[in-house]
Structure 1
Amino acid sequence: MAHAQRLGKDIAIYGSSEFIFKFIAFAAFPFYAHHFSVADFGLWALLSVSATLLGYFANLGVNQAVQRFYFDDFSDDVGTAVIVSTGLAQIFVSSIAVVTLAIAVCVLFAKATLAGYGISQLLLVLAIANVIPDQLLQYCLDVLRMQFTPLRFALLAFAKNVLGTALALVLVIRFDAGLPGLFLGVVFGTTMAVPLGLWLIHRDLGWKLHLPLTRSLFAFGFPLTFGSVAHWIYTSIDRWMIADLSSSLELGLFSVAAKYATIVSFVIAAFAQAWTPFAIRLFRDDPEHSTLYGKVFALWFFVLSFVGLGIALFSREALMLFTPADFWPAAIMLPVMASGMVLYGTIPVSSLGIILSKRTTLGTIGTCLAALINFVLNLWLIRQYGAMGAALATLITYGLLALYYLVWNQRLHPIALEGRKLVYCLLIVGITAALPLVDLGALTARAFMIKIGVAALVLLGAFATGILNRSMFEPRSLRSLL
């Protein structure tokens, strides 16, 4: 019980901070929807996923390596300050190098990107430039999680997610600056937050490099880069493939649906922020960790499934209330995309076996297989079904990848799976994915009551299967999370 309470506190403190501020940034979407066209959202998506890919090369797995070694015992001359400072230096140098090279390439191919995709050189440079401050801020957030300093973490999460969005909104709405204004605001906002991040982690900054440690961090993290690139392929390459194989309208609608589906990813990030360090520490300190892992896995899977179902049920209402009519067709893809995200969200728990055994190459193999499968599925399904084909490809890929991690986890560090509960969660995912086949209507009292009824039945099923119980909602249990 004590471990469960500690995990709950960690999720409430670290996860909710990141979730709340990311959701505030997400809330800007309706404002953008009234200033951008559907095609503009497609361009935004292409630039964003491209910047994400560059970020993986800039990071080189350093964040994960520092997290892995942060609690280990080294020699007297290698403490946490040396570990953090060495990792920070690596990220700063590699980010500068990657961004400089990427901008040079963009200058050479500026005419081709403008003619082929309508992306100007200014937009490319702004999107790429944000990689440096974004990587530094994410590194600082990860260090603050290791330090278990909730107020500092919340402050930096606010600066990282809200400042850039606020500036972007001013430039887009007040000055009608369009997509360049959006990216310019984000660049300024994240850059302004970097000094704050460095100050907040100052207790672990010794400003001293340790070359042998650099090699250790690189050896652990570099193989993860290939996995990160493969991860980018199966999560992001579909945007580029839709742009090439379908139309700008389909790309825009897919990007809008993906934007709403990111609500599930916010929940995943909130959980993962607290879960990973907690799970590693539990593995070290508690011989009964396998049982708790199993209970967390079942409860977490249900939470994800219920969130995904809620998003899918009310996707049309959300789009009709907050966006112009041109955006509404994106609702048909949202249930499929949300279902895929739910399956993907189980990986933070099911990947523990690979992390704890330090067999990171297995993660790389899994993500590479997922990338290949996703590419082939997109090539086939986008030609036939357009953006919906890409959504189906993502759902299948995420399901297979989740299964891959679970199988390896049970081979390396088995957890006590609770089969009946997991089957029930899979049933919810199946219902969610099938919702595009059922027309429940939208913005009518009858449709609203039907959807509320479906959600209520799913909750009752969670109590019937034992996933939820009354003790979880007793005042004493709730106070333990505060």
Structure 2
Amino acid sequence: MANLKSLAKDTAIYGLSSIVARFINYLLVPIQTVRFAASGGEYGIITNVYAYVSILIILLTFGMETTFFRFMSKEGEDPKKVYSTTLAMVMMTSLISTILVLLFLHPIASAAGYADHPEYIGVMYATVAIDAFMAIPFAYLRYLHKPQRFALLKVINILMNITLNILYLIVLPALKLNLFGIYDEQFTLDVAFVFYINLLCTIVTLLLLWKEWGTNSFRIEKATCKRMLTYTWPLLVMGLAGQLNQAASQILFPYLFDGSQDEAREQLGIYGACIKIAMIMVMITQAFRFAYEPFVFGKSKEKDNREMYAQAMKFYLIFTLLAFLVVMGYLDILKYVVGETYWEGLRVVPIVMAAEIMFGVFFNLSFWYKLTDRTIWGAYFSGIGAVVLITIDVLMIPSFSYMACAWAGFAAYATSMVLSYFIGQRYYPIAYPIKDMTVYLLIAILLFVGIQISNNLLMTWLAISVNTLLVGVFVAYLVKKDFPLSSIPVIGKKFKK
């Protein structure tokens, strides 16, 4: 129980920082979706470009975050050599690839559909390369169990980002000033500056991480490097395939949509804006991952580790189902996160959120092959999921537009999750509380149906009241069954008998 409390504490800190950062970042969504209307397609460009970013960050880190944690806690390995080697390898790949992209910028931009704006690709790639390098110092902070510093740096990055976005997208147009502070009646917004702002914020964060990377020797120890690469290449395949499940639809959409390029960007912008509402599930999964990865590798030698993994899975599912119900219950309020012209895409929210829950379960299940050094299985599962997603996208996007993207992700994560569970039980059996988890899932489904009926039949204020009661039913069952009020830190003592 003490170990689970430690995990919960770190998850809470990572989660709070992630929620605060994402909430601040969410403020960019209404700003950008209002300033860049759906009909213009500019937000579709942002969605498309950042889909490439998510794939590239996987390629440039090539699974070294997880590999770093594995080798830092592995018997016989020197942590200093592991950290130095990891930093040097990621820095080298990021630097070389950035030079190559800049040398061949125009043909690459043309292939991506941005021949007239190669700066989108150049600025985006430079940002990704720095982000990839920073992933290792941030992983080092997690290894040292310093969630407070980790959280502070992440929040600083987001605060700076939104401040500059507000200045560029709201303040300067209101004052009719251009970027040089000169009055300009004809000044128009350029979506490229959204990418320039991101690059600037990334550089500042890199400088703030100087203590974690700047004093390192950047020396590649050959034997350590070889062992790490042997372990990490399946993780690269797995990570790439897994990220394709999240980003491939946004990348493929402009090529598959049955309409003009402008229409494709408009539809993609609607999808990209509305899935931002569903990203609360990503926040929860990310917060859990930040705390859980070093926790699992650190506890791998303890006798009761499998029981802890089973309980962690159960509580992850419970709280993500609760988050799902809360978002769906208050969707009539949360929809104001995006501009009104994007609301037609709100129907993707429950599908994307359910898909993200399954991705989180898949992440929880993934440790059986990471702990047994069978990482190739992760590549298989994610690869099969990616094939499912791309197949559905290719077949369905021409007919069903962005709804096909949502269901493709759902099917892909479901496939990877189911395969990982059944094969994992053969190689690394864990007695997950399937019965309890199924009961929670069925209750959540019934309550979701009730929320949907309420949203469709009742006035907004009355629907929200009914939905609050329905969410309360789930909370009441949770308190009665698994989370008594007396177990809550600090205030829990007031409920003890």
**Fold in common (TM above 0.5):** yes
Q: Per-residue displacement from partner, 1:251-279 (whole Å, max 9, x unpaired)?
A: 11111122221111011111111111112
Tell me how far 1:155 sits from its aligned partner: 2.6
Q: Per-residue displacement from partner, 1:110-163 (whole Å, max 9, x unpaired)?
A: 45655xx68721212111110122112222111100011233222322234333
Separation in structure 2 between the aligned mates of residue 269 and residue 436 of structure 1, nearest angstrom: 27
Identical positions, percent:
18
Separation in structure 1 between the aligned mates of residue 450 and residue 226 of structure 2, nearest angstrom: 50
AA of the residue aligned to 2:358: L
AA of the residue aligned to 2:92: V
CA contact (8 A) 2:33 2:339 kept: yes
Separation in structure 2 between the aligned mates of residue 433 and residue 120 of structure 1, nearest angstrom: 44
AA of the residue aligned to 1:240: I
Deviates more, 1:6-15 or 1:362-371: 6-15
Q: For residue 208 of structure 1, give the secondary structure of its aligned residue in structure 2.
A: coil
CA contact (8 A) 1:60 1:224 kept: yes
Tell me how far 1:457 sits from its aligned partner: 1.8
Tell me how far 1:302 sits from its aligned partner: 0.8
* Pair 1:310 & 2:326 matched: yes
* Pair 1:179 & 2:191 matched: yes
CA contact (8 A) 1:293 1:416 kept: no
CA contact (8 A) 1:168 1:184 kept: no
Aligned counterpart, 1:52: 54
Aligned counterpart, 1:5: 5
Aligned counterpart, 2:69: 67
Structure 1 30/478 Cα, relative in aligned 2: closer, same or farther at 3 Å?
A: farther
* Pair 1:190 & 2:202 matched: yes
* Alignment RMSD (CA, Å): 2.6
- Name the count of aligned residue pairs: 470
Q: For residue 364 of structure 1, give the secondary structure of its aligned residue in structure 2.
A: helix
* Pair 1:42 & 2:39 matched: no
Alignment of 1:270-281 (within 5 A): 270-281=287-298
Aligned counterpart, 1:237: 248
Alignment of 1:12-411 (within 5 A): 12-38=12-38, 39-74=41-76, 79-111=78-110, 113-114=112-113, 120-175=117-172, 177-200=189-212, 205-246=216-257, 247-284=264-301, 286-319=302-335, 321-411=336-426
AA of the residue aligned to 2:291: A
Structure 1 443/218 Cα, relative in aligned 2: closer, same or farther at 3 Å?
A: farther
Tell me how far 1:229 sits from its aligned partner: 2.0
Separation in structure 2 between the aligned mates of residue 95 and residue 475 of structure 1, nearest angstrom: 45
Structure 1 328/277 Cα, relative in aligned 2: closer, same or farther at 3 Å?
A: same
Separation in structure 2 between the aligned mates of residue 147 and residue 227 of structure 1, nearest angstrom: 26
Separation in structure 1 between the aligned mates of residue 269 and residue 279 of structure 2, nearest angstrom: 15
AA of the residue aligned to 2:143: M
Structure 1 119/199 Cα, relative in aligned 2: closer, same or farther at 3 Å?
A: farther
Separation in structure 2 between the aligned mates of residue 220 and residue 112 of structure 1, nearest angstrom: 33
Deviates more, 1:422-431 or 1:355-364: 422-431
Q: For residue 346 of structure 1, give the secondary structure of its aligned residue in structure 2.
A: helix
AA of the residue aligned to 1:259: K
Structure 1 62/322 Cα, relative in aligned 2: closer, same or farther at 3 Å?
A: closer
Structure 1 121/136 Cα, relative in aligned 2: closer, same or farther at 3 Å?
A: same
Q: Per-residue displacement from partner, 1:14-60 (whole Å, max 9, x unpaired)?
A: 34323322332223222222211222221111101112222222222
Aligned counterpart, 2:182: none
Aligned counterpart, 2:185: none
AA of the residue aligned to 1:107: H
Q: Per-residue displacement from partner, 1:159-203 (whole Å, max 9, x unpaired)?
A: 343333433332333345432111111101111111221314568
AA of the residue aligned to 2:239: S
Q: For residue 373 of structure 2, give the secondary structure of its aligned residue in structure 1.
A: coil
For structure 2, list consecutive stretches of 5 or more residues without a partner in the other structure: 174-188, 258-263
Separation in structure 1 between the aligned mates of residue 347 and residue 454 of structure 2, nearest angstrom: 10
Separation in structure 2 between the aligned mates of residue 28 and residue 124 of structure 1, nearest angstrom: 21
AA of the residue aligned to 1:30: P
AA of the residue aligned to 1:187: L
Separation in structure 1 between the aligned mates of residue 116 and residue 349 of structure 2, nearest angstrom: 26
CA contact (8 A) 2:27 2:162 kept: no
Aligned counterpart, 1:455: 471
TM-score (norm 1): 0.90
Separation in structure 1 between the aligned mates of residue 373 and residue 474 of structure 2, nearest angstrom: 38
Separation in structure 1 between the aligned mates of residue 455 and residue 470 of structure 2, nearest angstrom: 11
Separation in structure 2 between the aligned mates of residue 478 and residue 191 of structure 1, nearest angstrom: 46
TM-score (norm 2): 0.87
CA contact (8 A) 1:42 1:255 kept: yes
AA of the residue aligned to 2:289: A
Tell me how far 1:220 sits from its aligned partner: 1.5
Separation in structure 1 between the aligned mates of residue 60 and residue 118 of structure 2, nearest angstrom: 21
